[in-house]
Every structure is written in structure tokens, then in C-alpha cells.
Structure 1
Amino acid sequence: MSETDEIQEASLYERIGGEAAVNAAVDLFYDKILSDYRINRFFERTDMAAQAAHLKAFMGLAFGGPNNYTGRSLRDSHARLVKLGLGDFHYDIVVGHLTATLQELEVPAELVSEVVALVESVRGDVLGR
């Protein structure tokens, strides 16, 4: 097996840099989210330490890493936010912050594209459609 074959077989989680990279990305991502007046209201009642741990576990599962996620479905976990007005406008902002975070952490463009495609694939679930 060539080195290229091994890279192609590695999960997105591994290719991004594993636990350390996911942890750094989630922390930086939430800094951006909480600093954005357009969306930070959705996190007013949120224990952010617990939220960050929750997202780190979810990303492990979603990116093909360790499955330590024990939370609700995306639809169920965002239903309260949808009732508060969460919509495509807000989702686009979140995707933008995620993209900027990954770029700031120097994640290669092709991996950023994979992450964004994955996030876009669950838009309907998050927004309750």
C-alpha cells in the first residue's frame, strides 16, 4: 500500500489532525460564534463548556473518529433554536465561521470542503425540515 492509499483510507477526523485539531477548532469556532451579534443570542442559555464538549464528541462521530457522542439527534437538539427563529441566514453564518476557523488553523482547502459538505448535508435536520 502506498502512502497515498493510506491517506485516502484515513478518516476525515484523522486527516484533519485528530483530537487535538478538533479541540482547537471547536474552541476557536465558539469564540467566533459568541462574538457574533447576529447569532450569539442562540447561546444565551447555554453552558458553553458542556456545549463545546458535546460538539467535540459529535465531530468525532461525524468525521469518522471515536464515537463518544451520546446526545440527541440534530433535529431534536436544535428544535428549541428553530422555534426562536434559527434559519438559513443563521446557518450560513455558522458555516462561514466554521470555514474561517478551519482556514485559520491551516486545514487544507480540500478538507475544509469536505467538512463544509458534511455540514451542508445536515442543514435540513438542524433546521427541522
Structure 2
Amino acid sequence: MTDSVYEEIGGKAAVEAVVEDFYDRVLADDRLVGFFEGTDMAELRAHQVQFISAVAGGPVTYTGGEMRDAHRHLDISEADFETVGTYLERALRENDVSEANIADIMAEVSALEDPILDR
């Protein structure tokens, strides 16, 4: 039996480290920080850990909001989406996730571009 991406990257602790790194990068970007004003970041980080865990084949089910509904009010541009994706990819790489597993996770995230951009 082969390990899931979730198991290969180190499970919950590894996903939590990636999410912390990811949000450190996103919130340091003046172009993106405004999207998070008034947001409970602890709750958002927990949702992101759940989401990444789920798309990586972990033993969780994502229970956050529907992507289109959760992001519609933000008016996110394609450039914003790409920048956030770049930060996620860097966070994964900086936390020693293999290139193959990065590709798998980023493919799942990229598939959400249209709903997140409300297209």
C-alpha cells in the first residue's frame, strides 16, 4: 500500500508548518493583506490545515465553505490568485515537501481557480 501525499509530507504537524509559513508570506504582502482584514486568522489557519490535509489525502474531510461563496465578496484577481499560489508553493518547498507532492497539491489548488475567482 502506498502512502498518501499527506503521510509522505509528514502528516498534521507538517501541514500545520506549511500553513504557518504560507500565511506569514501572504500577510507580509501589502497587495494581499487587505483581503484578511477582520478575519479570524486562527480559524482561517485551521480551515487551511483541514483543506490542505484533505487534498493531500489525509484522514480528514474539508468542512469549510463552498469555495465560490467563501471568496466571491473578495473580488480576487487572477494575479492575486497566482501570487497566493506562489506563496503556497514556496511554503511547501521550504518545508521540504518533494517536488512530486508539491505538484499534486498545487494541481488540486489550481483546479479551484475558477470558483475562487467567481468565473
Give the TM-score range, shorter chain. Answer: over 0.9
In structure 2, the gaps of 5 or more residues are none
Matching of residue 73 in structure 1 with residue 63 in structure 2: no
Task: List per-residue Cα deviations over 1:4-32 (Å, max 9, x = no partner).
Answer: xx3xx322211221101100000110000
The percent of aligned pairs where both chains have the same amino acid is 39
- 1:77 and 1:90 mapped to 2: Cα distance? 16
Please point out which of 96, 103, 106 is paired with 2:96.
Answer: 106
Q: Which residue of 2 aligns with 1:3?
A: none
In structure 1, the gaps of 5 or more residues are 1-5
Please point out which of 97, 114, 118 is paired with 1:124.
Answer: 114
- TM-score, normalized by length of structure 1? 0.86
Please point out which of 17, 35, 52 is paired with 1:59.
Answer: 52
Please point out which of 27, 32, 49 is paired with 1:39.
Answer: 32
The amino acid that maps onto 1:44 is E
Computed over aligned residues only, the root mean square deviation of the Cα atoms, in angstroms, reads 1.2
User: May I ask how many residue pairs the two structures share in their alignment?
Assistant: 119
The amino acid that maps onto 2:14 is A
Structure 1 position 67, deviation (Å): 2.2
Structure 1 position 69, deviation (Å): 2.8
- 1:105 and 1:37 mapped to 2: Cα distance? 24
- 1:76 and 1:12 mapped to 2: Cα distance? 28
Larger Rg: 1
2:118 match: secondary structure = coil
Please point out which of 81, 88, 101 is paired with 1:91.
Answer: 81
- TM-score, normalized by length of structure 2? 0.92
Please point out which of 25, 30, 33 is paired with 2:23.
Answer: 30
- 1:75 and 1:41 mapped to 2: Cα distance? 19
Structure 1 position 107, deviation (Å): 1.1
The amino acid that maps onto 2:45 is A
- 2:6 and 2:116 mapped to 1: Cα distance? 21
